[in-house]
Structure 1
Amino acid sequence: MPDLLPALPDSEFRRVLCVVAHPDDVEYGTSSAVAVWTARGVEVAYLVLTRGEAGMDASPPDRTREIRTREQITGSAAVGVTDVRFLEHPDGVLEYGLPLRRDIARRIREYRPDVVLTGSWEIEFVAGLNMADHRVAGLATLDAVRDAGNRWVFTELLDDDGLEPWQVRWFLVSGDPRATHGVEVTDEALQAGVASLEAHEEYLAGLPGHPAPKDMLPMIAGLQGRAMGVEHAVLFRAYDLQAPPPLFD
């Protein structure tokens, strides 16, 4: 029998920044863990890199942008998050590069989180083949965490904006099949997570055959809970960036 995954040592979390490509990306399970944290008084903010304007085939981008922005704000509030920032990078063709890294590093220095959370940048992740925007967002966030702590990278953030370097303690990746830790999710937090995804009503209505959030999210959380030996959980690959480096033989 495989060893059970340990609980994420999140009792000392004070401020978490979630960085994702699109409106709704946090809501596919991760928001239930967010609900656990906000209920405990942890400050959580979202940085959404696009407005998701290319995500609804039957709706033109200008209308879709308004819908998905509104639905994201509503969904975030369902799990106790009111600090939601949107960038204006183009949906569907999000590009890895210095402008994106700079924008994410700027927000990290502004918000000064002890935890940054993003999605997997692997080609294959827990839901199958990962899309390009998700991969770009994850990798750019990883690099921006280091950029935020280096005063000699993007020096204009300090010289022009007065944003001092900031060292993040924990880096969390959702959707990684090599999860190392989990967050046990209460029924209340799970239901809040369901409500956060249900808030994306118009977006989900345009996805034929999409399962109801009230059916899908408890199933996913139940499967992930088995890895911890609990009823429901959200799993992450967790990196303690301030831990001593591992020793090699």
Structure 2
Amino acid sequence: MPDLTVSQSPFNPAIHRIERVLCFAAHPDDIDFGAAGTIAAWTSAGVQVSYCIMTDGDAGGFDPAHRARIIAMRAAEQERAAALVGVTDIHYLHERDGYLEPNHQVMRGVVKLIREIRPDVVLSMHPERNWKRIQKSHPDHLAVGEAVTRAVYPAVENPFAYPELAESGLAAYKLPWLWLYAGPEERENHFVDVTDHVGSKLEAIHVHVSQHPDVAAMEAAVKDGMIAGAKRAGLPEGRSAEAFHVVAVNGPGTIAGF
């Protein structure tokens, strides 16, 4: 399992086993920027990881010549990037890029997928805006965080929410953990040492060539971000880390209720 340095998170890798993870993002490439190092560490340890990309990324890119094929291009980029960190199971909700809302259509899709996969961890973009770097807080990113958080509690574990799902055989499920990325630094309570997986993360990000007008600046920013994350975690100099806000959803002390 990944080497975790924990400040205040209730998650303890020595105690809490992870076998399945379901990751949510707004656009192709969001997961790679936010958590590809952690995902590479998980898959290398035998963890089954699935992706759900909520939009097709149709408003992304910089080249007008790509407009007619941008959706297919970005899907292909995400597939190749995912494979580099050991992920082959990718789902799409096919919402319109820039128009994502935490509505019941989206929440139902999230509940359906969580009940199908029944992961130990749901990894999602954060619902809170990052005022220090507002580019992390694209409205679609915030919508992902809000939709997933609303779905995780109470809908996923409430058998009477979206009753047609239970009627189709998708029983209610109590999710143990919610891990949020790309949120405000003050919410970070868990850091993953991804030093051994920086290369895989950068390879995955490089695949998204349609999104990078300045590749050198992008790579420098990503490296600097991981080094800064390691410093905030208190890791030794020369290490790299990804940061998360980990929330215990259901555990020994959870009180059931809707």
Question: Quick one: which amino acid aligns to residue 238 of structure 1?
Answer: V
Cα distance change of structure 1 residues 49 and 153 upon mapping to structure 2, 3 Å threshold? same
* 2:15 counterpart of 1:9: no
User: 1:210 offset after TM fit, Å?
Assistant: 5.3
Residue in 2 aligned with 1:143?
150
Q: Could you tell which deviates more after superposition, 39-48 or 224-233?
A: 224-233
Q: Contact 1:29–1:217 at 8 Å: present in 2 too?
A: no
Q: Which amino acid aligns with 1:52?
A: G
Q: Which runs of 5+ in 1 are unaligned?
A: none
1:157 aligns with 2:177: no
What displacement does 1:227 show?
1.7
Is contact 1:18–1:45 with CA below 8 Å preserved after alignment?
Answer: yes
Task: Give TM-score, length-normalised by structure 2.
Answer: 0.86
Offset of residue 123 of structure 1: 2.5
Select which of 64, 77, 83 maps to 2:83. Answer: 77
Quote the offset at 1:179 in angstroms: 0.2
1:235 corresponds to which letter in structure 2?
Answer: A
Residue aligning to 2:113: 107
Report whether the alignment pairs 1:215 with 2:224: no
Q: What TM-score, normalized by structure 1, do the two folds share?
A: 0.89
Q: Give the 5 Å matches for 1:13-162.
A: 13-57=18-62, 58-59=64-65, 61-124=67-130, 127-129=133-135, 130-146=137-153, 147-159=155-167, 161-162=168-169
CA separation of 1:62/1:154 partners in 2, compared to 1, >3 Å: closer, same or farther?
farther
2:240 to 199, 221, 232: 232
- The amino acid of 1:201's aligned partner reads V
Amino acid at match of 1:143: R
Alpha-carbon distance in 1 for matches of 2:6, 2:161: 40
CA change 1:235–1:90 in 2 (3 A) is same
Cα deviation 1:24-59 (Å, max 9, x = unaligned):
000114111111111111111000001101112424
Does the 8 Å CA contact 1:151/1:158 hold for their aligned counterparts?
Answer: yes
Residue 191 of structure 1 aligns with which residue?
A: 199
* Greater shift in the superposed pair: 226-235 or 13-22: 226-235
Secondary structure of 2:30's counterpart equals coil
CA pair 38-84 structure 1, distance change in 2 beyond 3 A: same
Moved more, 121-130 or 223-232: 121-130
What is the CA distance between 1:61 and its match in structure 2? Answer: 4.3
Residue 124 of structure 1: CA displacement? 2.3
C-alpha distance in structure 1 between counterparts of 2:6 and 2:248, whole Å: 19
Structure 1: which amino acid aligns with 2:109? D
- Corresponding residue SS for 1:164: coil
Aligned position for 2:178: 171
Contact persistence 2:34–2:182 (CA under 8 A)? no
Q: Could you say what secondary structure the match of 1:236 adopts?
A: strand
- The Cα of 1:6 is off from its aligned counterpart by 6.2
Percent same amino acid among aligned pairs?
A: 29
Count matched residues. Answer: 239
Alignment root-mean-square deviation, CA: 2.1
Query: Conserved in 1, the CA contact under 8 Å of 2:52 and 2:91?
Result: yes
CA distance in 2, matches of 1:113, 1:121: 20
Alpha-carbon deviations, 1:208-244, whole Å to 9, x = none?
x454554332221111001222211111010111243
1:128 Cα deviation (Å)? 2.3
More helix by share: 2
